[in-house]
Structure 1
Amino acid sequence: MEKFQIEPFYVMQVLERAKELEKRGREVIHLEIGEPDLPVPERVKRKAAELLTETELKYTPATGIPKLKEAIAEFYYSRYRVVVEPEQVVVTPGSSPGLVAALKTVSRLVGEISFTDPGYPCYKNILKVLGEEGVALPVGPENSFKVRPFQVNTPALIVNSPANPSGAVYTKRELEKLSKRAFLISDEIYHGLTYGEEAPSALEVTRNCIVVNGFSKFFLMTGWRVGWLIASPDMVEPINAILQNTVIAPPTLSQLAAVECFSEEVLSELQENVKVFRKRKEILLNGLKEIGFKVPVEPKGAFYIWADASPFTEDSFKFAFELLERTSVAVTPGRDFGYNGTEKFVRFSFCTETEKILEALERLYSYLR
């Protein structure tokens, strides 16, 4: 039997071991998982509670309820000054199924797809599930872990901005140059979480793209499983067919509640959260540097720090488990994000409260110094 080539999330092995230690009474500080700890806005939760008693939660259209599609389209005009028709919006049960449908559609209608290394691991693994290999493009600190146009030799390219794991943010000019080289699948799941200039949408520079986004990061609704795509009409039809046959429809309750995310009240609350993440980023970044980690590129967005651990190890996978066992601090090994120098890197997430970040830094300092 042929060996199954889909790689696991290696961070889940770290998490599983962390859970075992917690069962034994160890207090583990989790800096490995990219799940924001801040609460979903009360207005969203109140709406969901009301709907549970007032609404029969039946299937919706595969591409989502009109009210949410309209709200997303309006949001793109108010945020990016981009005109999006509601018919271009495809609501999905989390951004991942949308990404699957988008990658399948683009691979068939456009052609081979490239992606960055290091980069979000699901890109290469989803392509493998779909029977597509894709092309990994090495990126490094010399260009802030961003792909350069001359590297792109495939008809399509996945761009993740702000990026996981590096926190890199592409400028509008950089996106424009890339759009002239390839059709863009623009993963904008971390939009809204920037610490300086805002991240532009690919839709600001080209209509030759599909945008992937969702409610899990900036909007904090990880377990509600609702996301969206924005695509041209010729792409929406095959995407819709894929989703009809695989997920049927996004969660009805989550869709109805998510409409509240675009109210002025909720958007203001979420924007205040960015200040919390910014403060955590600065504390963690400064602390890691003091300990001796090298951070070649400071994150401009998302909620991760991509740290060079070579002063301490040549094998960050073993190092992640060593830190967990010796300090009860959980981090993500670089192996999860590709093969281009990742064995020397670890990813730290600042999705936990400031007090825990400070405690984690104290533990790491005591052990590594």
Structure 2
Amino acid sequence: MEPQNTSTVTNFQLLGFQKLLEWQTLLFVIFLLIYCLTITGNVIIITVVSQDQRLHSPMYMFLQHLSFLEVWYTSTTVPLLLANLLSWGQAISFSACMAQLYFFVFLGATECFLLAVMAYDRYLAICSPLRYPFLMHRELCTRLVAVSWWTGIGTGFLPSLMISRLDFCGPNEINHFFCDLPPLMQLSCSSVYITEVTIFILSIAVLCICFFLTLGSYVFIMSSVLRIPSTSGRRKTFSTCGSHLAVVTVYYGTMISMYVHPSPHLLPEVNKIISVFYTVVTPLLNPVIYSLRNKDFKEAVRKVMRRKCGIYGVRAKGSSFISGSRSL
């Protein structure tokens, strides 16, 4: 017979940033502003890419999926963080905690795969521009996106299942702002050695492999850019790729420092600061770096805005004409 989960803890208490009581209001305003900007920026990308035919290319298809993912990824943790800052401590049930853990791991892993796919797409576009339309065709794009999502879905199951099978006998206070792997393992009153080793191996497989694939793509891109005769062309490409690489490095660097080690050795406050980068900051930076600095995308935004304003203007004129007719 399989061992049953003998957990006596039915809910957890998320402590959040309780050591910064005097900064709670300021942190709430900052995180709320970042969250609103993140949702707005990513929704704009999804809308504009879907409505502008010129953006129906592999790069923007991947970007649209990344933006859709970022909306849910940041919504997995930030709303609970905001509620925690308002109430100075937030209770969460055991099942809700495991659900949050699953979606966090699943969406985080999917983002790693999508970033690697996007880097590979840029590598083909810059290093093999003539063969690019044949190499990165729509069927391949669809398959790469599907593999990224399905692999992420599968990656989330094992850590969540293993954590849910641990015994939690008390205390039930999670010294974090969401249900994350290290603080949950610290709370367990059963042996977590197998769980730690499994998560370590899984982190190596997902984070490090995706990071080195992404980094390798950008190394080949940079070497190809160095052969561009135009100084302005080199500068522009270096600026774009440098921005992409900076965001990717921040995301992977903070994630690797948290999960690619055999034991949760970092201090809780350090964990929280590191976690803010990959749960709050990078979802905001991705739409800015990947789209809002792009000339074609900015032109598409202006085109969609003019179209929307034109529709609203026609509706306003029509309603005023109808009201005027009725008054006559």
- Could you tell me the TM-score, scaled by structure 2's length? 0.24
The structure that is strand-richer by fraction is 1
The structure that is helix-richer by fraction is 2
